Amino acid sequence: MIPFKVSRPSILIAAFIVACAPALADDWPQWRGLNRDGVWHETGIIDAFEGPEIPRVWSAEISSGYSSPTVADGRVYLTDRVTEPTEVERILAFDEKTGEQIWSHVYETTYKSVGYRAGPRSSVTVVEGRAFSLGTMGHFRALDAATGELLWETSPDKDYDIPMPSFGLCAAPLVEGSRVFVQLGARNGAGVVAFDVETGTELWRALDDRASYSAPIMIDQSGRRVLVCWTGGHIAGLDPATGEVLWAIETEPRRGVINIATPVIEGNRMFLTSFYDGAYMLKIGQDATTIDTTWRRFGRSEMKTDALHSINSTPLMIDDYIYGVDSYGEMRCLEAATGDRVWEDLSLVPKARWATIHFVRNGNRVWMFNELGELIITELSPDGVREISRAKLIDPTPEQYTGTFSAVQNPDSDEKSAMFVNNTGVTWSHPAFANKHVFIRNDRELISANLAAR
């Protein structure tokens, strides 16, 4: 009997109705899909691209930002930032079929002590007619998903004292039942906060940790619901009803908080990876109050890595193997039991500092979206990666990141250094796969492309 499985949030009932339709279709209502696990359940999808570029269904003009699109009930949600005539963040909703903007919710905010200022990071979470959005500086808002009407809000400085992370607040809100959970990293024990979805009333707060950039997930552990949060100091399991800390393992960073990847689950294993701090493999206990470290591996630097040092990419764990992209673009396969490297591949994204690939599973295929704006259909196994088809989806833009860094050997030592090599930009946002389409943004446009088999 497997003691642990990934659990679906409260939108499962609606998703089940959609999934039972004759042509299997899914919305993508939150970060990394229905279950936050990077799995795309739809059938009737193309096997390969017809040409070097994927034709668009529509394109909508937007401004800059890192947040990925989400899709629910016929609408596509996104956030961006506009700096003229005043600095504002926007929460936007578009018609899923046409790209026509349905509504826009705008609020003023000035970015302070934040690097990479292109715009909001956190995906909009849409559940039961409400859209929840977390801004870079900590503005947390609940809107009517159909109209954009503001239902309630909390504001930084006024409601919470947030020591700002280097790259702003990023972790997408998570909803279950009557509660919405947010990693704020605020002082006075408000590292993680639960709010009532209808009123915005604070229900509980937990942890005195700084905020990280890793999105929380909900799991079942031995028949008990557990909210898993990877903060700036711990990986912790909380009682979602009360905020009680059920278990926690310290993950204090060696060189500043930069854990971005979402915790990855397979069976009773939990995998964590970070750019500077390498990887953890944890064993989820039979008792909901226990968790143990199976192994912990990291290299001596970002250039001399061990196991997996990921930055923006959340890896996959399939059966007994982990697949992910390392600090300078090396696609790696690891043994889950040990962290030992099985193979490495350099064909999927250029070798560069902070190279990014987003992984989504659909059946026995893995769809990869790299920072060049390419969509790649692959199959992964312990024997290697098999590329089936690749095509350009969207252009990289310089606002998110002005260029990439390439690893250059230092002739006087065995270390390498990073050298700036171009200014073409990147596409770091995660795509949404919904209703046989893919939705993706750069810093100028949001696009839709049809992936249905003909």
pLDDT tens by residue, 53-70 = 999 999 999 999 999 999
Structure-token match 């099985």, residue found: 342
Pairing between strand 384-392 and 405-409? unpaired
Predicted pLDDT at 276: 94
Predicted pLDDT at 445: 98
Domain ranges of the chain: 4-450
Predicted pLDDT at 453: 97
Predicted pLDDT at 255: 87
pLDDT tens by residue, 276-324 = 999 999 999 988 789 999 999 999 999 899 999 999 999 999 999 999 9
Dig out the tokens for 435 from the structure: 């209703």
Q: What does the alpha-carbon distance between residue 397 and residue 421 come to, in Å, rounded to a whole number?
A: 15
Mean pLDDT of 245-271: 95
Work out the mean pLDDT of the chain and round it to a whole number. Answer: 91
For domain 4-450, say whether CATH 2.130.10.10 is its number: yes
pLDDT tens by residue, 338-385 = 999 999 999 999 988 899 999 999 999 999 999 999 999 999 999 999
- Extended strands (E) in 207-268: 217-221, 224-230, 234-238, 245-250, 264-266
Shortest CA distance to 123 belongs to which of 40, 55, 61, 36?
A: 36
What backbone phi and psi angles, to 5 degrees, belong to 38?
A: 65, 30
Q: Percentage of the chain surpassing pLDDT 90?
A: 85
Residue 18 pLDDT level (bands cut at 50, 70, 90): very low
Q: What does the alpha-carbon distance between residue 140 and residue 133 come to, in Å, rounded to a whole number?
A: 6
Higher pLDDT, 417 or 9: 417
Predicted pLDDT at 94: 98
Predicted pLDDT at 409: 54
Predicted pLDDT at 17: 35
Residue pair 290/283 in contact (Cβ under 8 Å)? The answer is no
Residue 424 pLDDT level (bands cut at 50, 70, 90): confident
Predicted pLDDT at 404: 60
CA distances from residue 204 to 49, 137, 181, 216, 421 in whole angstroms, order as listed? 49, 21, 10, 16, 47
Q: Percentage of the chain surpassing pLDDT 70?
A: 90
pLDDT tens by residue, 165-199 = 999 999 999 999 999 999 999 999 999 999 999 99
Q: What does the alpha-carbon distance between residue 24 and residue 43 come to, in Å, rounded to a whole number?
A: 6
Predicted pLDDT at 287: 86
Predicted pLDDT at 22: 41
Predicted pLDDT at 2: 32
Q: Is 435 exposed, middle or buried (0-12, 13-18, 19+ CB in 10 A)?
A: buried
> Do you know the residue count of the chain?
454
Predicted pLDDT at 12: 39
Residue pair 185/162 in contact (Cβ under 8 Å)? The answer is yes
pLDDT tens by residue, 77-112 = 999 999 999 999 999 999 999 999 999 999 999 999
Q: Which amino acid is at 140?
A: F
- Helix segments in 106-264, DSSP class H: none
CA atoms within 13 A on the CB side of 15: 21
Residue 8 has pLDDT above 50, yes or no: no
Shortest CA distance to 273 belongs to which of 320, 235, 239?
A: 235
Mean pLDDT of 409-424: 56
